[in-house]
């Protein structure tokens, strides 16, 4: 998101440095995608599963937003403009059961990442097919990637193929390998030896209630044009 009236330095979280380039980072290989065979599955805690074709997905309302990227490997890139479809519009295609509190994002080759549902409902979260006015390149996630600006960029899954609604948080690919379950860059939640993990449980309802509260506060302050205070 753009934080109007703030210095660039106030937009860079602790431990990050700015880059103008856009590095490419992922596990595994860039998948070959055939849009005629491509589909997008919405499943898990829903009344009825739904599978969308590429054309059906593109027919959803267009959504644009500009936001900053913060990668856990310490680079940040400001003012990326994204175009795609909002998570909310995709979610509206199904009836999600009330028990669903988390989402597993499924990408090509079985890659996954996990997020609380509340985070995905924020204004600037979208499934993007374009970046700075150009279609995504295959190595940046073409045809479709998730963008979640307020979390470290590994949560912004490339080559997404589906979303699964779940009741409990399920660690994804990097989260299982030692990365933080939530990944707030302003709190430097890089690895799971951060305090939340040391309480003896990997996810508590209270922890995520705090997170939800912080997001609400952040949205309220943003709406008022005020200071951003991540704590």
Ligand X SMILES: Nc1nc2c(c(=O)[nH]1)N[C@H]1C(S)=C(S)[C@@H](COP(=O)(O)O)O[C@H]1N2
Residues in CB range of 89: below 8 A, 6 or more apart: 60, 61, 63
25 binds ligand X (CB under 6 A): yes
**Calpha distance 101→93 (Å, rounded):** 17
Closest CA to 101 of 86, 92, 112, 114: 114
Residue with smaller CB distance to ligand X, 10 or 109: 109
Residue 18, interface with ligand X (CB under 6 A)? no
Distance CA 142, CA 107 (A): 11
CB of 147 to ligand X, least distance (A): 10
**Is residue 157 near ligand X by the rule CB under 6 A?**
yes
Nearer to ligand X, 116 or 141 (CB): 141
Instruction: Select from 6-14, 86-94, 157-165, 194-202 the region that touches ligand X (CB under 6 A).
Output: 157-165
The Cα–Cα gap between 217 and 80 comes to 24
C-alpha 116/C-alpha 202 separation (Å) is 14
- Tell me the three state secondary structure of residue 15: coil
Query: CB neighbours (10 Å) of residue 13?
Result: 17
Determine the interface stretch with ligand X among 6-14, 22-30, 38-46, 80-88 (rule: CB under 6 A): 22-30
- Could you say whether residue 207 binds ligand X (CB under 6 A)? no
Q: Which of 42, 45, 46, 71 binds ligand X (CB under 6 A)?
A: 71
Select from 16-24, 162-170, 183-191, 217-225 the region that touches ligand X (CB under 6 A).
16-24
Q: Give the residue at shortest CB distance from Mo ion.
A: 154
If the CB atoms of residues 193 and 219 are measured against Mo ion, the closer one turns out to be 193
């Amino acid at each position: 998101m753009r934080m109007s009236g703030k210095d660039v330095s106030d937009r860079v979280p602790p431990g990050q440095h700015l880059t103008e380039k856009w590095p490419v980072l992922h596990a595994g290989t860039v998948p070959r995608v055939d849009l005629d065979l491509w589909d997008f599955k919405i499943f898990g805690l829903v009344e009825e599963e739904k599978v969308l074709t590429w054309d059906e997905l593109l027919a959803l309302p267009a959504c644009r937003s500009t936001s900053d990227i913060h990668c856990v490997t310490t680079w940040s890139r400001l003012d990326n403009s994204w175009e795609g479809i909002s998570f909310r519009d995709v979610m509206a295609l199904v009836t999600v059961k009330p028990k669903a509190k988390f989402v597993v994002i499924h990408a090509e080759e079985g890659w996954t990442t996990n997020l609380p549902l509340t985070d995905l409902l924020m204004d600037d979260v979208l499934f993007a097919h374009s970046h700075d006015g150009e279609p995504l390149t295959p190595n940046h996630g073409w045809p479709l990637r998730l963008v979640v600006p307020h979390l470290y960029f590994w949560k912004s899954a490339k080559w997404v193929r589906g979303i699964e609604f779940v009741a409990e948080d399920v660690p994804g690919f990097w989260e299982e390998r030692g990365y933080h379950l939530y990944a707030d860059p302003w709190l430097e939640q890089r690895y799971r030896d951060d305090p939340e993990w040391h309480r003896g449980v990997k996810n508590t309802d209270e922890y995520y209630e705090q997170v939800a509260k912080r997001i609400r506060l952040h949205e309220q302050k943003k709406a008022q044009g005020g200071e951003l205070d991540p704590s």
